[in-house]
Amino acid sequence: MRPSPVSLARKVKPIPPSMQVFSQTPPADRILSLPRFVARAKVEERTSILPAPAPRNHEIKPPTLIETLAARKLAAGAQWPPNIRIEPVISRATWAPVRKGIRSKLKKALREE
């Protein structure tokens, strides 16, 4: 039967102070890092207190780069440079039902020449 952790802890001897791994910091250093609360009566009336930032809605995603470029292409019309092509985004799930030999031919056909 395996010994319990409590019995193992009792057998372990403490490390002597000269062999401590972490330096012991005095508690005075820790007190300085704590936040201080000030009563409202002590704060001057004219000092500005910044309001809390507006909460972000993480469900609304910004437009992707391809969507932004497609909108610019529509807005530019004939002035859009011919060397900048925007190919449609097609996921792997879309290509899953297509047979393997036909996939490459269809992908080449979708690209603008």
CB of 73 within 8 A of CB of 86?
yes
Q: Are 90 and 110 in contact (CB under 8 A)?
A: yes
Judge whether 106 and 90 are in contact, CB under 8 Å: no
In order along its 113 residues, the chain shows pLDDT tens digits of 677 776 676 676 665 655 555 555 555 555 566 667 777 777 777 767 778 888 887 788 888 898 999 999 999 999 999 888 888 778 889 888 988 888 888 888 877 55
d(CA 41, CA 49): 14
